[in-house]
């Protein structure tokens, strides 16, 4: 089985327990997080081999992150550790109705953001790979990472490796105008584009009022083979309906809808991506959408950024047809 390669930044995530606010915190739970790492770790949980291309500081915090990344089954390159920079941090306040969750970033000067595009050996990383994935967060971290992401995508395409891209717009990192200018060239002609209706509308002005029109418009605009969109209805902060849709060569399809009780929603979109990639490697788009929706629905019940659900749990949920609440 060929490995999946992902590229991005790993961060230290710190979260107060019991839905406390940061100003109240006397202790913080620590996890490794980061969109592309979450995808790689999710794929490992589903039985795949994955490599995460990143840079970590050569100090105890970087070693802690590497230890946790490897413990999730994800491979790191031999050139992962660098002398400059630090491990980026983000603080997460878990919401409780009516207060939404909130993220505070402390990532300036991170090891990945200080590297040069020439520091990445893409032909080596992608040798023998079966898939490559990156998100819009990585090029938002600096000009060199725009170049690095572009080099990675071009190398993968040149080697005939399918490429997926998650739009993943982050308003804390750049404006919609900056994101649109940088990301549109990177997003063209890919095997799989993953996004939300909200991000497509905010960054590219694509009408999000109808999921089918939204996905079809994005597929046409970016000349993508498949566009997958997560769909969420939010009755309360702690409970919502979750699913997705996809538009490909054979038309449009919606997934089952799952009622999810939210323990931790962070990383649900990355779990959707991991499930979709796994499904596409195994079969057709309907199977990929089933895997994506079920795997990401289960993620809402798991603390931390990564979905550690097993393939058996995902298949059982798919078999249930989405009836009732997620079984844990």
Residues 196-250 pLDDT 10s: 999 999 999 999 999 999 999 999 999 999 999 999 876 555 568 899 999 999 9
Q: Is 238 exposed, middle or buried (0-12, 13-18, 19+ CB in 10 A)?
A: middle
C-alpha 33 chain-centroid distance: 10
Instruction: Look up residue 324 and give its DSSP letter.
Output: S
Q: Is the pLDDT of residue 328 over 80?
A: no
Q: Please state the φ and ψ torsions of residue 192, each to the nearest 5 degrees.
A: -145, 130
**Catalytic amino acids?**
270
pLDDT band for position 98 (50/70/90)? confident
Query: Is the Cβ–Cβ distance between 101 and 94 less than 8 Å?
Result: yes
Query: Is the Cβ–Cβ distance between 111 and 84 less than 8 Å?
Result: yes
Determine the Cα angle at 252 with ends 250 and 257, to 5°: 135
Q: Is 212 exposed, middle or buried (0-12, 13-18, 19+ CB in 10 A)?
A: middle
Domains, the chain, ordered by start? 225-328 (3.40.1190.20)
Query: Is the Cβ–Cβ distance between 165 and 134 less than 8 Å?
Result: yes
pLDDT band for position 326 (50/70/90)? very low
What is the Cα–Cα distance from 60 to 107, expressed in whole angstroms? 17
Neighbours of 100 (CB within 10 A): 11
Closest of 74, 203, 77 to residue 135, by C-alpha: 203
pLDDT of 263-288, one tens digit each?
888 999 999 999 999 999 998 999 99
E strands, the chain, in order:
4-7, 11-16, 28-33, 50-53, 56-57, 75-76, 81-82, 89-93, 102-106, 131-135, 163-166, 192-196, 226-233, 239-248, 251-254, 258-261
pTM exceeding 0.85: yes
């Amino acid at each position: 089985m060929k490995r999946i390669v992902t590229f991005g930044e790993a961060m230290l995530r710190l979260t107060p327990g019991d839905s406390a606010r940061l100003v109240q915190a006397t202790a913080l739970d620590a996890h490794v997080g980061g969109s592309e790492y979450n995808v790689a770790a999710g794929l490992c949980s589903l039985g795949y081999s994955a490599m995460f291309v990143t840079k970590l500081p050569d100090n105890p915090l970087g070693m802690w992150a590497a230890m946790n990344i490897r413990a999730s089954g994800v491979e790191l390159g031999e050139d992962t550790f660098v002398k400059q920079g630090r491990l980026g941090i983000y603080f997460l306040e878990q919401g409780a109705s009516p207060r939404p969750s909130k993220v505070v970033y402390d990532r300036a000067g991170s090891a990945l953001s200080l590297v040069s595009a020439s520091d990445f050996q893409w032909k080596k990383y992608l040798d023998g790979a079966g898939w490559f994935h990156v998100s819009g967060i990585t090029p938002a971290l600096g000009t060199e990472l725009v170049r690095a992401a572009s080099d990675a995508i071009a190398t993968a395409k040149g080697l005939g490796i399918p490429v997926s891209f998650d739009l993943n717009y982050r308003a804390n990192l750049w404006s919609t105008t900056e994101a649109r200018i940088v990301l549109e060239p990177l997003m063209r002609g890919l095997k799989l584009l993953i996004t939300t209706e909200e991000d497509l509308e905010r960054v590219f002005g694509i009408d999000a009022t109808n999921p089918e029109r939204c996905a079809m418009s994005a597929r046409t605009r970016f000349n993508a083979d498949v566009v997958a969109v997560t769909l969420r209805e939010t009755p309360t902060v702690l409970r919502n309906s979750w699913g997705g849709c996809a538009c490909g060569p054979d038309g449009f399809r919606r997934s089952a809808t799952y009622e999810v009780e939210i323990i931790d929603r962070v990383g649900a979109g990355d779990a959707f991506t991991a499930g979709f990639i796994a499904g596409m490697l195994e079969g057709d788009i309907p199977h990929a959408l089933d895997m994506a929706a079920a795997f990401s629905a289960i993620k809402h019940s798991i603390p931390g950024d990564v979905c550690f659900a097993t393939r058996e749990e995902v298949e059982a949920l798919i078999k249930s047809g989405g009836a009732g609440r997620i079984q844990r």
